[in-house]
Structure 1
Amino acid sequence: MTMIQPQPLHKIHIAADERGLLFEQGSYIKTLKPGSYRFLNLSGQTTIRRCKLSEPLQFTPTDWNPTHTQDEAVHIRLYQHDAELMRELTVVEVSDHEYVIHLVNGKYNALLTAGTYVYWNVLQEHQFIHADIRQPVVGPEISRSILAKLHSHLYVVDIASHETGLLYFDNQLQQLLPPGRTFYWRGPVNVTVKKIDLRRQQLDMTGQEILTEDKVTLRLNFVCQYKVTDPLQAAEIKNFDEQVYIQLQLLLREYVGTLKLDDLLRMKQEIGDFVLSRLQTQSEEYGVQFLSAGLKDVILPGDIRTILNTVLLAEKKAQANMITRREETASTRSLLNTAKLMDENATLYRLKELEFLEKICEKIGTISLTGGGNLLEQMNALMGMKETAAARDAG
């Protein structure tokens, strides 16, 4: 937009994509359409504003009357008597509590804040989408492709598939947000979102010192797994993990304090079952489901560990000695039973001799016999002598 001060005799040309606004002594007279014009400006009070149709029609105090303010709404009223001009203009009013999205020929052009805006509608089509930012939720009438260009004016909230969101307007809870992306206007209402993880979670308690009934100080490592089932209830608990941690401490002290060291080492599984059952009674209060609890490690003081190792070694040695004696007794009993059978049955005795003779033959490579005769005769003679001796003993 340019301001022209015609000479006493001046010729001006208005292009096809322009309009001219003619003023006399600061007052609007008419609009000049495309064409050439001659003016006789003897008083020097004639001015012409040349306006591009592709640009907004703006008013500034230095244009033609320094006493006017920059309020576009005031300036546009000076033109309302010209019906022909007003048909070529589109005027949009944006309130303090509004944003207006300006589309030119169906494409995003700008985001308008509070004020009055005037556009030429001759060569372009203007569309305006009004949004009341007192209601922060961005409506579906605004395309996602447009919202991508308005990040400085939006809160963008992303909720993952394993999460849920608690939406607050001015610290007042509004609703639960499902997984996905949502948009909210930045304006007079403060928007905050608290995300809650719905996956299975684990709380570890490490190095917890607890005194047993027999005054032994232990360090326990305990683990608890849970998942949130009621996000609204869980959100009402400040420092959720810290409160569950303290509850675990109290339950462990309650249970372990009634056990002696030997009982504790023997009943590690029962400790987890006890803690889990007590936690499950408070599930609704916390808004979660407690899934499992268990004792991971029992760490003993150094002197107690040395004593227990000594006791364990002694027990294992005693068990080994007992097993050795048991085996020796069983072996002796077996030999006694064999001897009784051999004593009662001569044939069994003879077979046993032959068995031992076979074992002897397996261990030696050469047998030398003296006194003449071949080997078979000498062996028969040897066995015959034994049979005669056995019969004589029996008689």
Structure 2
Amino acid sequence: MSTITIAPRQVAIETKDGLVTRTLTSGKHRRIRGATYTIVDLREQLLTVAPQEVLTADGAQVRVSAAVRWAVGDPIAFHEKAVEPLSSVYLATQVALRDALGAVGMDALAQRGARLPVAEITAAVAAVGLEVGIRVVEVIVKDVILPAELRAAATAVLAAKQRGLAQLEAARAETAALRSLANGAQLLDRHPALATLRAIQSAPPGTQLVLRLGGGEERAPGQ
């Protein structure tokens, strides 16, 4: 008796006289005389979508690339519905990316980078994949490449923003220092003895200071 062995994570579609007679899961099965067997791999795979030119909502042209995580969900539909089922998923991904970017302006795209609505893109591609027996797990937007002049403009804006923040921080530090000096001056005005003590502490060693106390003079060495 002739047999066929199906590996794990694979199925075999048995056809005879032009009709699908059964689907064989992993394991050993008896072959039917005159039947043919097509092996279908059920493991998850990756479909790379080449970079393509896409127009944004304001008419700017960007390049976007993506990848699709997919697996066979319905082996019979995958085998029978289309000659190249992956081509349908590939085209659906291109259209979904074009629709998603077409609703986003360049300013928002420059700020968000590649963070596009991937859930909506995946749902649109998954609906097409379902028709040809493909289960779309996820559409991953890999790169959204802005034109060189727009990348330079975005970099210039970011640099200007950082310079502004640095200047603001410097101004805050200067204001804090002036406020501290003003508070110190007011404190010395209210307490003259503190000014005398400060003068003694800051004088170089060996310096003789003349202190006026109650109309008289008294010399005190510097510290």
- TM-score, scaled relative to structure 2: 0.79
Q: Report how far residue 222 of structure 1 moved.
A: 1.3
**What is the aligned counterpart of 1:179 among 26, 39, 43?**
26
Change (3 A) 1:390 1:310: farther
Consecutive unaligned residues of structure 2, counting only runs of 5 or more, are: 218-223
Change (3 A) 1:349 1:310: same
- The question of whether the paired residues in 2 share the 8 Å contact of 1:342 and 1:349 is answered with yes
Q: Is 1:304 matched with 2:150?
A: yes
Residues 34-113 of structure 1 aligned to structure 2 (within 5 Å):
none
Q: Is 1:254 matched with 2:96?
A: no
**What is the aligned counterpart of 1:209 among 50, 53, 73?**
53
CA distance in 2, matches of 1:280, 1:274: 10
Q: Report how far residue 306 of structure 1 moved.
A: 2.7
Q: Report how far residue 390 of structure 1 moved.
A: 11
Q: Report how far residue 307 of structure 1 moved.
A: 2.8
Q: Report how far residue 297 of structure 1 moved.
A: 1.0
Amino acid corresponding to residue 56 of structure 2 in structure 1: T
Q: Report how far residue 257 of structure 1 moved.
A: 1.0
Q: Helix, strand or coil for the counterpart of 2:160?
A: helix
CA distance in 1, matches of 2:216, 2:115: 71
Indicate the residue corresponding to 1:226 in structure 2: 70
RMSD: 3.1
CA distance in 2, matches of 1:390, 1:315: 60
Give deviations 1:142-172, integer Å, cap 9, x for gaps.
xxxxx6xxxxxxxx74422121121112332
Q: Report how far residue 240 of structure 1 moved.
A: 1.7
Change (3 A) 1:349 1:166: farther
Change (3 A) 1:263 1:389: farther
CA distance in 2, matches of 1:205, 1:222: 5
Q: Helix, strand or coil for the counterpart of 1:269?
A: coil
CA distance in 1, matches of 2:130, 2:47: 18
Indicate the residue corresponding to 2:221 in structure 1: none
- The question of whether the paired residues in 2 share the 8 Å contact of 1:158 and 1:179 is answered with yes
Q: Report how far residue 211 of structure 1 moved.
A: 0.9
Greater RCO (Cα-Cα under 8 Å, separation 6 or more): 2
- TM-score, scaled relative to structure 1: 0.48
- The question of whether the paired residues in 2 share the 8 Å contact of 1:202 and 1:223 is answered with yes
Indicate the residue corresponding to 1:326 in structure 2: 172
Indicate the residue corresponding to 1:278 in structure 2: 124
- The question of whether the paired residues in 1 share the 8 Å contact of 2:89 and 2:129 is answered with no
CA distance in 1, matches of 2:216, 2:24: 107
Residues 116-155 of structure 1 aligned to structure 2 (within 5 Å):
138=1
Aligned length: 215
Tell me which structure has the larger Cα radius of gyration. Answer: 1
Q: Helix, strand or coil for the counterpart of 1:220?
A: strand
Change (3 A) 1:288 1:352: farther
Q: Helix, strand or coil for the counterpart of 2:117?
A: helix
Q: How high is the sequence identity, in percent, across the aligned residues?
A: 26
Q: Helix, strand or coil for the counterpart of 1:196?
A: strand
CA distance in 1, matches of 2:136, 2:91: 15
CA distance in 1, matches of 2:201, 2:67: 66
Q: Is 1:198 matched with 2:45?
A: no
CA distance in 1, matches of 2:215, 2:177: 27
Change (3 A) 1:293 1:346: farther
Give deviations 1:1-42, integer Å, cap 9, x for gaps.
xxxxxxxxxxxxxxxxxxxxxxxxxxxxxxxxxxxxxxxxxx
Change (3 A) 1:278 1:346: farther
- The question of whether the paired residues in 1 share the 8 Å contact of 2:12 and 2:39 is answered with yes
Indicate the residue corresponding to 1:237 in structure 2: 81
Amino acid corresponding to residue 172 of structure 1 in structure 2: L
Amino acid corresponding to residue 14 of structure 2 in structure 1: L
**What is the aligned counterpart of 2:183 among 337, 358, 379?**
337
- The question of whether the paired residues in 2 share the 8 Å contact of 1:162 and 1:199 is answered with yes
- The question of whether the paired residues in 2 share the 8 Å contact of 1:271 and 1:294 is answered with no
Amino acid corresponding to residue 313 of structure 1 in structure 2: A
Q: Report how far residue 388 of structure 1 moved.
A: 4.0
CA distance in 1, matches of 2:87, 2:123: 20
Amino acid corresponding to residue 248 of structure 1 in structure 2: T
Change (3 A) 1:343 1:213: same
CA distance in 2, matches of 1:348, 1:219: 70
Give deviations 1:302-357, integer Å, cap 9, x for gaps.
23323333333333222322222222222222222222223223354345445545
CA distance in 2, matches of 1:241, 1:345: 86
